[in-house]
Homo-oligomer: A and B are copies of this chain.
Amino acid sequence: MATTNFGMVGLGRMGANIVRRLALHNITSAVYDVSPDAVKTLAAEGAIGATDMANLASQLSTPRTIWIMVPAAVTDSTIASLAEHLSPGDTVIDGGNSYYKNDLKNAEFLKAKGINFVDVGTSGGVYGLERGYSLMIGGDDAAVKSLDPIFKALCPGVESAERTPGRTGEPAQAEYGYLHCGPVGSGHFVKMIHNGIEYGMMAAFAEGLAIFEAADEMTPAYDLDIPAITEVWRRGSVVASWLLDLTAQALVESTELKEYSTEVSDSGEGRWTVQAAIEAGIPAHVLSASLYARFASRNNDEFANRVLSAMRFKFGGHNEKPQAK
């Protein structure tokens, strides 16, 4: 049986694919998940299955590296449980979407046990297995440096984009697609802002395309082919982007997007980004608006709207009825 010092806790879409991408680069993982089926699946693909955290730790050579890829809500408890089975010199990676200020607590907790903590913001979604992951890393220099083979296996690699004009010589770390951003928490901080920007970009496209969708009732009226428009922008236009690629793809399959929900979730990063902007005193109109539009998509604006209708009724006698666009 293969020996390895790398373990993965949490075998959801992201965790499982990270294990798979590492395997493609000849790095074997020992794996654990609360779902035995998830463990079985990965074991069938060549990973070393573990029955619990103790079992996971016992199957890893030291110093161990354990990547945790679990929902933010259980990150702290997972780290606490895991730490019981680790030894000084081991490293815990939190690769999930954790709040950066929380990283400091976990790092301190582990440090007291001689265990390193590294936070890794991981972008790439379901395409990461194939395209590689964009990795934003926080932690002490030595700990991060020792993980270089892991990060290099996961990242997209230099050749995945044309070189930026002005960059010369040996490619910098960032040009591989991973970056040691700074001390503990900085990886998640950078990932957080990344997602905030993502929200803003998504909202920009959504608003623009929505105007197209309404254009058949404007003056002059245009009956526009939105799938074709998103396709044409993919080549040579200023808005060319991966988000546009995905949008064009969704629209080929579903011209009117009818099967997609009008209620849009938001995750921690969008909210934390706005909080960070406020702490920094930086105007963040766009990032906030894109977050709020998601709140409103889930009808969280209902009471506010009733207040408006009540005011209108009181000062103007306006009886609110649904009206056309």
What are the residues of chain B within 8 A of A176 when measuring CB–CB? 235
Question: In the complex the two chains form, what is the Cα distance from A20 to B281 in whole Å?
Answer: 36
Fill in one digit per residue for A285-320: 1 if any B CB lies within 8 Å of its CB, else 0.
Answer: 111111111111111111111111111111111101
What are the residues of chain B within 8 A of A166 when measuring CB–CB? 249, 252-253
A85 proximal to B (CB < 8 A):
no
Fill in one digit per residue for A208-221: 1 if any B CB lies within 8 Å of its CB, else 0.
Answer: 11111111011110
- State the main secondary structure of chain A at its contact with B: helix
What are the residues of chain B within 8 A of A263 when measuring CB–CB? 305, 309, 320-323
A201 proximal to B (CB < 8 A):
yes
Minimum Cβ distance to chain B for residue A317 (Å): 5
A77 proximal to B (CB < 8 A):
no
| A286 in complex: contacting residue of B124, B200, B273, B299, CB < 8 Å | B200
Minimum Cβ distance to chain B for residue A104 (Å): 6
A173 proximal to B (CB < 8 A):
yes
Question: In the complex the two chains form, what is the Cα distance from A124 to B281 in whole Å?
Answer: 26
A24 proximal to B (CB < 8 A):
no
Question: In the complex the two chains form, what is the Cα distance from A123 to B237 in whole Å?
Answer: 5
Known: A127-B315, A320-B264. A224 touches B305 (CB 8 A): no
Identify 8 residue pairs between A and B in the complex whose beta-carbon atoms are under 8 Å apart, listed by A's number.
A164-B234, A174-B229, A206-B308, A210-B304, A239-B243, A260-B307, A278-B291, A293-B296
